Amino acid sequence: MSKTLMTISNVSKSFGEVDALREISLEIKSGEVVGLVGSNGAGKTTLLRLMSGVYKPTKGTVCLDDGTPVDKMRQRLGVVPESTGLYSRLTAWENIRYHSRMHGVSDDDSWNRTSRFAKHLDMLENLGRHTKGFSRGMKQKTALLRALAHGPSVLLLDEPTAGLDITSARTVRALVKQLRDEGGTIVYSTHQLAEAEQVCDRIIIIHNGDIQADGSPNKLLEDTDSKNLEEAYVSLTQEKARPRNDDSESEGKFTRWWRRLFTPKTPKTVLGDDSSE
């Protein structure tokens, strides 16, 4: 029987008057790839940020298997956000090593894991290169290696193949399947139904902040009497999708002061305001 690694209980998240998520409850079990599927603005990224401890719920709890809130045990999580956030002046390995040291992992252990997975991603020869000149695919692969280097219990991926070429996307999906076969646990956010069907053992459909369905691809087809996942998705999301909102936390006083201090003022002569004409 699979062990529950993460429990999300009655979680809601609001940004001002916008309810990004409403009363979400689910469990993430070991050895499975869980797909979060939904349109832009559905709440996928907000849920991932709650699961990674970046956001705190407005209501409810997100805890690991021992009852510890995720924001207290982030070292057990590996996260690949939509924006990789790599330091361009560092090499790929330096980015990974820096991240691993923050998690208390020795350089030797980090290198052993990194080099092993880098071979599968065809990145081993690029680990010594600065990331400034990397393609989108190489940056994404580096971010994935960075998330795996400390041996996380749960890997959280936000649109991991977005913007990648066909070969790079196939390589990333193959590694996800390999991790699953080795007993790894992955939460895989995507708006691509075909990709979810290829990779995921279980698919959670999120629409306008609510969970509309949760089950294996075959179960979703059976429950909706559909011939394919696209047809199943459409039948489960009849309500018009809401527009995407920038689900960012409100700025504190220090953040506002800092932004004003370092944001240059635009001269009046810019933007075509030229009195000589």
Q: Alpha-carbon torsion 234, 240, 244, 250, what sign? A: negative
Residue in this structure with the two tokens 């939460």, named with its chain if needed: 187
**From CA 253, how far away is CA 251, in angstroms rounded?**
7
Whether residue 261 lies inside any domain: the answer is: no
SS3 state at 51: helix
pLDDT in tens, 33-61: 999 998 888 899 999 999 999 999 999 99
SS3 state at 210: strand
Report the domain count for the chain.
Answer: 1
pTM confidence score: 0.83
Rounded-to-10 torsion of CA 151, 154, 160, 161:
90
Q: Are 71 and 56 in contact (CB under 8 A)?
A: yes
- The enclosing domain of 34 has a CATH number of 3.40.50.300
Q: What are phi and psi of 215, to 5 degrees?
A: 175, 180
pLDDT band for 121, please (50, 70, 90 cuts). very high
Whether residue 274 lies inside any domain: the answer is: no
Whether residue 269 lies inside any domain: the answer is: no
Whether residue 95 lies inside any domain: the answer is: yes
> Domain residues for 92?
4-251
Whether residue 258 lies inside any domain: the answer is: no
Which residue has better confidence, 256 or 10?
10
Residue 271 CA to chain centroid, in angstroms? 38
pLDDT in tens, 54-78: 999 999 999 999 899 998 888 899 9
Q: Are 92 and 32 in contact (CB under 8 A)?
A: no
What would the mean pLDDT of 103-127 be, rounded to a whole number?
A: 94
Whether residue 272 lies inside any domain: the answer is: no
Instruction: Return the pLDDT at 270.
Output: 38
Whether residue 79 lies inside any domain: the answer is: yes
pLDDT in tens, 133-186: 899 889 999 999 999 999 999 999 999 998 888 998 999 999 999 999 999 999
Q: What are phi and psi of 133, to 5 degrees?
A: -95, 10
Whether residue 108 lies inside any domain: the answer is: yes
pLDDT in tens, 199-243: 999 999 999 999 999 999 999 999 999 988 889 989 888 765 555
